[in-house]
């Protein structure tokens, strides 16, 4: 049996997108979606469409920027890339995420003991 | 920061919707195609690939919706939607929209216009810093309606000003002074102490205040100019401080210019401020000294009551020196500047403000009723929207948006209405309403207008908004129709109540006005012209010159064609300044002088013999003055009927002797008794009065005099000849010619203004109430058409139907009227101070108002009700 696929936590998607762009450089929406599924090994249930409002939100906050370009197979696509303030945001969010994850891990570990 | 940025981006997103939509479509299409290609690579057929791609992607339309919401500001988005929808609704029902907007515009516009008039009186701050600490203080005596102090006690008091931080004084009123250089002009000069501007907290915008040296007798002669004078006569010359002007013939150095918004605390006109030059020793020597208007700045945190308490000891001490007959009738008084300025205008202002707000409420109620009627006819539409998933809050918002839009449209039109009304008010308003000429539609009044419009919109929008139907209404009839009818009837009842209050007030004021205009003044005003002339000190410094001028003018006017007779007098009835003395100061042989109290005031005038003929004042006993009475050797007097009664209660006054002014002057012989004449305004009781002959020999200053001209022919023609004659004598004199009837009519101008305005609001209120009544009855009948049809089919007579409808109308009309009666009864008390010879609780007037209102309501209900009688049962039953 495959493990149950988890919903993407609100706010987590932002971090994931930022990290993806940080790792792979400019990408279009499809590329980001593929990357997320590949990395999460299909453990995350993601309606790929929901990516777009998230991308818009990040762009409105100035963390990513977008530009029209052509994809590998010559299609018109919008490419998103990380801005400087996005990089900063990624750092703070990653840090707070790790702290949070650490707390939860300790919590769960203590319970298990 | 990023939040602000996001907000900006979203705001921007509002304006580039189409472009954004296309972009998004392209982006999503690419994504889907890429997904499909991947699926095909995995070996699916094209159909399968597409289905799988869509599945993986999620609901396309939902995503777009979320995206759009994220892109713009959802609130604004749906606001524009609501607005567009509302605008469409209004366009589709132009008659409804026009009526609603017009009603609002008249209501709000009237409120704004009245607000702009009363704002300066009731609300707006006076142009002095910390104005609420400024007071007018001093004594109040029967001869004076405003506070004053006498010089001798003032110079003592200013050394230790008790409860005050600072005090100052000025000479009462303004004096005419003439600029005597090229292009001479008559100015209004005011004498103020050196502490005057600092106490008020005013600084000259150019130059400086007087110094102590300049405020001493025989000090350097200096003057401060008003801003208006600086601009008009000196064209705002920045080098004005180097100039001297020639005032009353001697050079005066200009040392400063007052701010543009400066005004005297007494509201006197002041073109030039001159130092008062009050001398301490001089005032003591001439005990009690000159009369001064005194003002003070209270210490921080002090109230008027504390100031009075603090002044009391000094006041007791100062009173020691007062003439004994005065002592009992003198009071200490401290009033804030605002109180001093607005005096009796305050009650009238609140009255107008209150009545216009009541009128606005009636107007809003009418619009609310209109909206309710429309809400009833569109509940199906709202129900459909509710059924399709619009949350209740969204529907309420839609309805409120519509009423706000109505309110804003009303506001725009209201500005135009207010502008018109303000102009109308200023043109019909009497003099003496403080700052009326400043009333205009400025930012403050506009904010008031906008605020009123928004509050009104919420008020009238609330009723229909709260009645947004639930989705289940879609299935059947509106089960809450009765509840809604109840609300509409209650609104009409409220209108009737408010209108009745307005009508009751208007009735009282009109009745009072009628009394006032039909007061027996005691003079004949027809075909009498008055010419008022004030001679300047500079051109006519000597008494002989003044007398000669008036004698010559009298002679010239007598020669004019169409003139029957000419008289000269130093003052004129029935109002305005007149010389006066106290009753206690008149000595009669065999009667001791009064020592307790003043005995009240006695007015007097100096008149030429034709005075009594010109004004048609009958001489009841004895004779009028003759030419020989004007000789310096003659000592004759004419007394009024009332004075005769009071001086000689048991004797024939004719031929009696009396001595005036506390035994100064000669004994005079009473040669005639004149009928009583109003001399204290129309509303107040007349003072007793006596007349002295206008002498041929100058004994006192006659700088101001009135010429009375009785004409046989068209008064306008005579007036222009009079002007020409006067100019021929001295072309620099300002001349004021007025018909006597006009002078008298002016006295009722303020009550007339109040009565006209209140009647206007009452009339409009009744009209709106009638329209509201008509609308509601018509609506209820339309709703009940089927029921009426059934009744008629079952044999009900048309008259029975009519009775049924009218009796239901009567029920809420009467409850509204009862409420109105209570309100009118309570509010008429507030009118009391404005009434003349009318009781505030006049049952007849109130009954008349009630009758009028009920009659109007009855006919407004009858017109649509008669339509119900003509309902054809067959048509009614087939309906639906």
Residues of B in contact with A62 (CB under 8 A): 2, 5-6
Closest CA to B624 of B615, B613, B635: B613
The CATH number of residue A60's host domain is 1.10.10.10
Percent of chain B's residues with pLDDT above 90:
3
A-chain residue closest to B34, CA distance:
A30
- Rounded mean pLDDT, B428-450: 77
B418-444 burial, b at 16+ Cβ within 10 Å, e below that, comes to bbebbeebbeebeeebbbbeebebeee
Asked if the model's pLDDT at residue B629 lies above 50, the reply is: yes
Residues B633 and B635: their CA atoms lie apart, in Å, by: 7
Of A11-15, B106-110, B384-388, B435-439, minimum mean pLDDT range: B435-439
Q: Count the neighbouring beta carbons within 10 Å of the beta carbon of residue A90.
A: 19
pLDDT of residue B567: 92
**Cα separation, B159 vs B167, whole angstroms:** 10
From A50, A76, A78, residue closest to B58, measured CB to CB: A50
| Burial of B391: CB neighbours in 10 Å, binned 0-12, 13-18, 19+ | exposed
Long-range Cβ pairs for the range B482-486 (8 Å, 24+): B484/B372, B484/B375, B484/B376, B485/B780, B485/B783
Q: Give the gap in angstroms from C-alpha B387 to the nearest C-alpha of chain A.
A: 28
| Whether B58 and A49 lie within 8 Å, measured CB to CB | yes
Cβ count near B125 (within 10 Å): 11
Strands A64-70 and A76-82: antiparallel
Question: Residue B448: is its pLDDT beyond 50?
Answer: yes
Q: Which chain B residues contact residue A18 at CB under 8 A?
A: none
**Which tens digits make up the pLDDT trace of B587-626?**
887 776 666 666 777 888 889 888 998 888 888 888 888 8
Q: Which residue has the higher pLDDT, B436 or B829?
A: B829
Confidence tier at B413 by pLDDT (50, 70, 90):
very high
Is A104 part of any domain? Answer: yes
**Chain B closest CA to A111's CA: distance in Å?**
38
Contacts of B42 in chain A (CB under 8 A): none
Selection from B459-463, B467-471, B487-491 with the highest mean pLDDT: B487-491
Mean per-residue pLDDT, B452-474:
72
Which residues touch B249 (CB under 8 Å, ≥6 apart)?
Answer: B180, B538
Instruction: Select from B33, B65, B67 the residue whose CB has the most chain A CBs within 10 Å, as the one to mutate to test that interface.
Output: B67
Q: Residue B808's pLDDT is what? A: 83
Q: What whole-number distance in Å separates Cα of residue B692 and Cα of residue B637?
A: 5
CA-based nearest residue to B301, from B163, B168, B201: B163
Q: Tell me the chain A residues in contact with residue B34 when contact means C-beta distances shorter than 8 Å.
A: 30, 71, 75
Q: Chain A contact for B236, CB < 8 A?
A: no
- Residue A67 falls in which region: left (phi positive, over 0), alpha (psi -120 to 50) or beta: beta
* Subunit contact B66:A62, Cβ cutoff 8 A: no
Q: Do A76 and B6 touch (CB under 8 A)?
A: no
- Is B9 in Cβ contact with A75 (below 8 Å)? no
Cα Dmax for chain B: 140
* Closest chain A C-alpha to B297 CA, distance in angstroms: 57
Residue A1 confidence (pLDDT): 37
Considering only CA atoms, which of B60, B64, B38, B65 is closest in space to residue B49?
A: B38
pLDDT of B90 reads: 83
For residue B790, with 0-12 CB atoms within 10 Å meaning exposed, 13-18 middle and 19 or more buried, which class applies? middle
Q: Are B328 and B595 in contact (CB under 8 A)?
A: no
- Average per-residue pLDDT in chain B? 82
Q: Do A61 and B24 touch (CB under 8 A)?
A: no
Q: Which residues of B touch A89 (CB under 8 A)?
A: 2
Q: How far is B9 from chain A (nearest CA, A)?
A: 6
CB atoms under 10 Å from CB of B276, counted, come to 22
Which residues of chain A make contact with B2, given a CB cutoff of 8 A?
61-63, 85, 89
Q: From CA B5, how far away is CA B13, in angstroms rounded?
A: 12
Contact yes or no for A48 and B3 at CB 8 A = no
Instruction: Give the mean model confidence (pLDDT) for residues B452-468.
Output: 78
Contact B6 A57 (CB under 8 A): yes
- Whether residue A49 and residue B70 make contact (CB cut-off 8 A), yes or no, is no
What pLDDT, on a 0 to 100 scale, did the predictor assign at position B696?
76
Positive or negative, the Cα torsion across B538, B541, B545, B547? Answer: positive
CB B363 within 8 A of CB B410: no
Residue B620, H or E segment: strand B619-622
Q: What is the mean pLDDT of residues B472-498?
A: 69
CB of B478 within 8 A of CB of B155? no
The tokens for B24 are: 């998004």
Q: Is B590 left (phi over 0), alpha (psi -120 to 50) or beta?
A: left
DSSP assignment of B26-44:
HHHHHHHHHHHHHHHHTT-
pLDDT tens figures, A45-92: 677 888 888 888 888 888 898 888 887 777 788 889 889 988 998 888
CB < 8 Å to A56, chain B: 67, 70-71
Question: Cα–Cα distance between B247 and B538 in angstroms, integer?
Answer: 9
Mean pLDDT computed over every residue of chain A: 80
Give the contacts of B649 (CB within 8 A, at least 6 positions apart). none
**According to the per-residue pLDDT averaged within each range, which of B53-57, B97-101, B379-383, B794-798 is highest?**
B97-101
B3 has a chain A CB within 8 A of its CB:
yes
Q: How many CB pairs under 8 A join A and B?
A: 75
Structure tokens at B508: 């009282």
Residues of B in contact with A60 (CB under 8 A): 5-6, 9-10, 70
As for the ipTM of the complex, it is: 0.83
> Residue B530 corresponds to which tokens in the numbers above?
């008055």
What are the tens digits of pLDDT across the range B645-698? Answer: 888 888 888 888 888 876 667 888 888 989 888 887 777 777 888 888 888 777
- What pLDDT score does A112 carry? 47
CA angle B620, B622, B625 (to 5 degrees): 100
Burial (CB < 10 A; 0-12, 13-18, 19+), residue B688, is buried
* Distance of alpha carbon A99 from alpha carbon B538, whole angstroms: 95
Determine whether the interchain pair B30/A77 forms a contact, defined as Cβ–Cβ distance below 8 Å.
yes
Q: Residue B17 above 50 pLDDT?
A: yes
Distance from CA of A29 to the nearest CA of B (A): 7
Shortest Cα distance, chain A CAs vs residue B10, angstroms: 7
**Cβ contact, residue pair B57, A48, below 8 Å:** yes
Minimal Cβ distance to A56: which of B2, B3, B71: B71
Q: Which two tokens stand for residue B472?
A: 């289940």
Q: Is the pLDDT of residue B468 over 70?
A: no
Range of the domain at A33: 6-112
Q: Is residue A1 part of a domain?
A: no
B575/B606: higher pLDDT: B606
Shortest CA gap A112–chain B (Å): 37
Yes or no: say if B258 and B204 are a contact pair by the CB < 8 Å rule: yes
Domain count, chain A: 1
Q: For residue B5, report the phi and psi dihedrals to the nearest 5 degrees.
A: -65, -45
- Could you tell me which residues come within 8 angstroms of residue B490 by beta carbon, excluding any fewer than 6 positions away? B812
Backbone φ, ψ for residue B382 (5° rounding): -65, -35
pLDDT of B224 > 50? The answer is yes
Q: Does B2 touch chain A (CB under 8 A)?
A: yes
* B47-57: average pLDDT: 84
Mutate to test the interface with A, among B7, B28, B31 (most CBs of A within 10 A): B31
Does B11 touch chain A if contact means CB atoms closer than 8 Å?
Answer: no
pLDDT of residue A3: 42
Residue pair B593/B729 in contact by the 8 Å Cβ criterion:
no
Chain B CA closest to residue A42:
B56
E strand map for chain A: 6-7, 27-28, 44-45, 64-70, 76-82
CB atoms within 10 A of CB B171: 18
B714 touches chain A (CB under 8 A): no
Give the chain A residue whose CA is nearest to the CA of B53: A48
Q: Do A71 and B30 touch (CB under 8 A)?
A: yes
Task: Parse chain B into domains and list their residue ranges.
Answer: 2-72, 131-342, 528-745
Give burial (CB, 10 Å; 0-12/13-18/19+) of B327.
middle
Residue A83 domain-assigned? yes
| CB-based contact, B545 to chain A, within 8 Å | no
Residues B275, B149: Cα–Cα separation, whole Å: 18
How far B30 CA lies from chain A's nearest CA (Å)?
Answer: 7
3-state class of B688 per DSSP? coil
B267 close contact with A: CB closer than 8 A: no
Distances (CA, A) of B579 to B395, B558, B576, B689: 73, 27, 10, 10
In-domain check, residue A49: yes
Instruction: Decide: B674 and B619 in contact? Cβ < 8 Å.
Output: yes
Answer whether A62 sits within 8 Å of B2, measured CB to CB: yes
CA B325 to each of CA B322, B600, B661: distance values in angstroms, whole numbers, following the listed order: 8, 10, 13
Given this model, what pLDDT does residue B61 score? Answer: 79
Peptide bond into B574 cis (omega under 30): yes
For the cut 50, the answer to whether the pLDDT of residue A113 exceeds it is no
Centroid of chain to Cα B770: 28
Q: In terms of Cα–Cα distance, which of B703, B678, B701, B664 is closest to B581?
A: B664
Distances (CA, A) of B690 to B51, B419, B643, B658, B760: 114, 49, 8, 12, 43
pLDDT per residue over B240-295, tens digit each? 888 888 887 788 888 999 998 888 888 888 888 989 888 888 887 776 778 889 99
- Determine the distance in angstroms separating the CA of B42 from the nearest CA of chain A, rounded to an integer: 15
Determine, for residues A49 and B23 on separate chains, whether the beta-carbon distance falls below 8 Å.
no
Contacts of B161 (CB under 8 A, 6+ apart): B167, B296
- What separation in angstroms does the CA of B626 have from each of B365, B571, B603, B613? 69, 19, 21, 12
Please tell me the distance from the alpha carbon of residue B770 to that of residue B503, in angstroms, as a whole number: 14
Which chain A residues touch B71 with a CB distance below 8 Å? 56
Give the model's confidence band at A2: pLDDT under 50 very low, under 70 low, under 90 confident, else very high: very low
| Among A49, A71, A77, beta carbon nearest to B60 | A49
Tokens representing residue B797 in the block: 């007579």
């Amino acid at each position: 049996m495959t493990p149950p696929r988890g919903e993407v936590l609100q706010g987590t998607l932002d971090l994931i997108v930022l990290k993806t762009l940080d790792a792979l450089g400019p990408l279009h929406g499809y590329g980001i979606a593929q990357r997320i599924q590949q990395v999460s090994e299909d453990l995350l249930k993601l309606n790929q469409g929901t990516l777009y409002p998230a991308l818009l939100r990040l762009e409105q906050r100035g963390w990513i920027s977008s530009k029209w370009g052509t994809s590998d197979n010559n299609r018109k696509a919008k490419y998103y890339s990380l801005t400087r303030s996005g990089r900063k945001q990624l750092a703070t969010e990653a840090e707070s995420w790790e702290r949070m994850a650490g707390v939860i891990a300790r919590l769960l570990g203590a319970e298990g003991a | 920061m990023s939040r602000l940025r996001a907000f900006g981006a979203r705001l921007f997103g509002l304006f580039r919707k189409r472009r954004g939509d296309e972009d998004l479509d392209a982006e999503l299409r690419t994504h889907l195609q890429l997904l499909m290609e991947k699926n095909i690579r995995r070996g699916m057929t094209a159909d399968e690939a597409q289905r799988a791609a869509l599945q993986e992607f999620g609901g396309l339309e939902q995503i777009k919706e979320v995206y759009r919401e994220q892109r713009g500001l959802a609130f604004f988005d749906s606001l524009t939607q609501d607005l567009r929808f509302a605008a469409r609704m209004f366009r589709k029902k132009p008659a409804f929209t026009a009526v609603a907007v017009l009603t609002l515009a008249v209501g709000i516009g009237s409120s704004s216009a009245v607000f702009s008039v009363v704002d300066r009186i009731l609300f707006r701050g006076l142009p002095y810093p910390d104005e609420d600490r400024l007071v007018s203080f001093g004594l109040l005596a029967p001869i004076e309606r405003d506070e004053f102090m006498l010089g001798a006690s003032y110079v003592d008091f200013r050394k230790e000003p008790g409860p005050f931080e600072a005090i100052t004084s000025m000479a009462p009123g303004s004096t005419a002074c003439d600029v005597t250089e090229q292009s001479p002009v008559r100015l209004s000069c005011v004498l103020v102490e050196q502490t005057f501007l600092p106490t008020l907290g005013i600084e000259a915008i150019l130059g400086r205040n007087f110094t102590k040296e300049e405020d001493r007798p025989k000090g350097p002669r200096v003057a401060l100019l008003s801003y208006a004078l600086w601009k008009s006569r000196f064209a705002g010359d920045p080098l004005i401080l180097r100039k001297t002007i020639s005032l009353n013939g001697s050079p005066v150095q200009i040392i400063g210019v007052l701010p543009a918004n400066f005004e005297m605390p007494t509201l006197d006109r002041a073109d030039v401020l001159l130092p008062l030059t009050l001398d301490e020793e001089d005032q003591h020597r001439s005990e009690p000294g000159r009369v001064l208007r005194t003002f003070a700045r209270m210490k921080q945190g002090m109230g008027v009551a504390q100031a009075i308490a603090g002044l009391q000891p000094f006041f007791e001490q100062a009173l020691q020196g007062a003439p004994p007959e005065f002592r009992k009738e003198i009071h200490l008084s401290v009033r804030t500047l605002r109180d001093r300025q607005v005096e009796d205008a305050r009650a009238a202002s609140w009255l107008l403000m209150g009545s216009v707000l009541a009128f606005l409420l009636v107007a809003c109620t009418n619009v609310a009723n209109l909206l309710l009627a429309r809400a009833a006819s569109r509940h199906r539409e709202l129900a459909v929207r509710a059924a399709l998933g619009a949350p209740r809050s969204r529907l309420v918002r839609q309805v409120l948006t519509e009423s706000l839009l109505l309110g804003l449209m009303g506001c725009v039109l209201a500005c135009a209405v207010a502008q018109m009304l303000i102009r109308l008010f200023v043109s019909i308003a009497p003099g003496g309403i403080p700052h009326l000429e400043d009333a205009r539609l400025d930012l403050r009044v506009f904010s008031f207008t906008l605020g009123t419009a928004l509050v009104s919109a919420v008020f009238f929008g609330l009723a229909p908004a709260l009645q947004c139907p639930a989705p289940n209404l879609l299935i059947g009839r509106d089960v809450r129709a009765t509840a809604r009818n109840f609300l509409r009837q209650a609104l009409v009842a409220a209108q009737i109540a408010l209108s009745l209050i307005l009508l009751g007030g208007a009735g009282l004021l009109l009745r009072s006005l009628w009394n006032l205009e039909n007061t027996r003044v005691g003079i004949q005003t027809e075909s009498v012209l008055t010419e008022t002339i004030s001679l300047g000190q500079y051109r006519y410094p000597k008494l002989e010159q003044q007398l000669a001028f008036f004698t010559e003018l009298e002679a010239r006017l007598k020669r004019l064609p169409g003139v029957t007779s000419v008289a000269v007098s130093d003052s004129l009835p029935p109002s305005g300044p007149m010389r006066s003395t106290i009753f206690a100061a008149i000595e009669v042989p065999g009667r001791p002088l009064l020592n307790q109290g003043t005995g009240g005031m006695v007015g007097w005038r100096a008149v030429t013999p034709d005075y009594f003929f010109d004004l048609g004042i009958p001489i009841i006993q004895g004779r009028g003055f003759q030419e020989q009475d004007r000789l310096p050797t003659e000592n004759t007097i004419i007394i009024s009927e009332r004075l005769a009664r009071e001086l000689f209660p048991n004797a024939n006054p004719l031929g009696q002797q009396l001595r005036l002014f506390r035994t100064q002057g000669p004994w005079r012989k009473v040669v005639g008794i004149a009928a009583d004449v109003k001399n204290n305004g129309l509303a107040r009781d007349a003072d007793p009065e006596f007349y002295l002959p206008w002498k041929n020999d100058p004994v006192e200053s006659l700088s101001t005099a009135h010429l009375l001209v009785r004409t046989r022919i068209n008064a306008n023609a005579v007036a222009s000849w009079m002007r020409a004659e006067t100019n021929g004598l001295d072309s620099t004199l300002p001349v004021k010619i007025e018909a006597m009837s006009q002078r008298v009519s002016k006295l009722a101008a303020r009550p007339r203004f109040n009565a006209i305005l209140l009647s206007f609001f009452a009339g409009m209120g009744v009209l709106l109430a009638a329209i509201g009544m008509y609308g509601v009855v018509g609506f209820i009948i339309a709703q009940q058409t089927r029921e009426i049809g059934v009744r008629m089919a079952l044999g009900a007579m048309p008259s029975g139907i009519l009775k049924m409808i009218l009796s239901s109308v009567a029920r809420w009309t009467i409850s509204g009227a009862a409420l109105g009666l209570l309100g009118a009864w309570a509010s008429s008390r507030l009118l009391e101070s404005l009434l003349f010879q009318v009781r505030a609780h006049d049952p007849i007037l109130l009954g008349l108002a009630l009758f009028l209102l009920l009659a109007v309501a009855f006919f407004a209900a009858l017109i649509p009700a008669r339509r119900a009688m003509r309902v054809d049962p067959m048509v009614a039953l087939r309906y639906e």
